[in-house]
């Protein structure tokens, strides 16, 4: 029986954002990734310039954060979650495999398109700032970076990513 994977990880610091950027764009050594497959099978659907996640978060927050009653932008606390990384995949047996054991190419698949559409619909199109398909490891998977801005322009990972909303 196949299992769906939906992993959520908060990004609170610039160093955490930079580490995830380097890993996801293969700017650092990734021992379980096949370098030959990285260039040909991995694909970035949203952040094709591979801008670092911290810069993407800061820009989106500045653009989308609500103003206070006095017309000034709300302040963002140093300890606030700036972004959330979501990893989407399934158990290895769910993916069709070729004779060499490699999963078939998912770049133009309904699975990728449906996941991207789901994230945009659920979290807001502007809040999905990166969406990367990795196929250079055994099992294809997606890394997406979401900025947790509410519809009212509040930065709040707690309102968007909590047990109730994740269950839904």
3-class secondary structure, 124: coil
- Res 99: pLDDT: 93
- Res 66: pLDDT: 76
Mean pLDDT, rounded, of the chain: 92
CA–CA gap between residue 59 and residue 67 (Å, rounded):
16
Instruction: Give the predicted TM-score (pTM) of the model.
Output: 0.92
What is the domain count for the chain? Answer: 1
Under 8 Å between Cβ of 60 and 149: yes
Range of the domain at 139: 4-167
Residue 87 is part of a domain; what is its CATH number? 3.30.930.30
Residues near 138 by beta carbon (within 8 Å), at least 6 away in sequence: 32, 92, 103
Residue with tokens 């650092």: 28
Under the banding of pLDDT at 50, 70 and 90, the label for residue 68 is: low
Under the banding of pLDDT at 50, 70 and 90, the label for residue 168 is: confident
Of 137, 136, 117, 138, nearest in space to 128 by CA: 117
């Amino acid at each position: 029986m196949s299992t769906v994977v939906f992993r959520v990880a908060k990004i609170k610091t610039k160093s955490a954002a930079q580490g995830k950027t380097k890993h996801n764009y293969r700017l650092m050594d990734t021992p379980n990734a096949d370098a030959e497959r990285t260039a040909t099978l991995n694909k970035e659907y949203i952040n094709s310039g591979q801008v670092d996640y911290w810069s993407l978060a800061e820009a989106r927050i500045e653009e989308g954060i609500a103003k206070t009653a006095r017309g000034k932008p709300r302040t963002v606390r140093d300890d606030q979650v700036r972004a959330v990384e979501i990893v989407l995949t399934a158990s290895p047996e769910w993916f069709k495999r070729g004779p060499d054991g490699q999963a078939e190419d998912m770049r133009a698949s309904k699975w990728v398109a449906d996941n991207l559409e789901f994230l945009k619909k659920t979290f807001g199109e502007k809040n999905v700032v990166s969406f990367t398909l990795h196929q250079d490891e055994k099992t294809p998977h997606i890394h997406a970076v979401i900025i947790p801005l509410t519809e009212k322009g509040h930065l709040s990972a707690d309102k968007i990513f909590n047990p109730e909303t994740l269950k839904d």
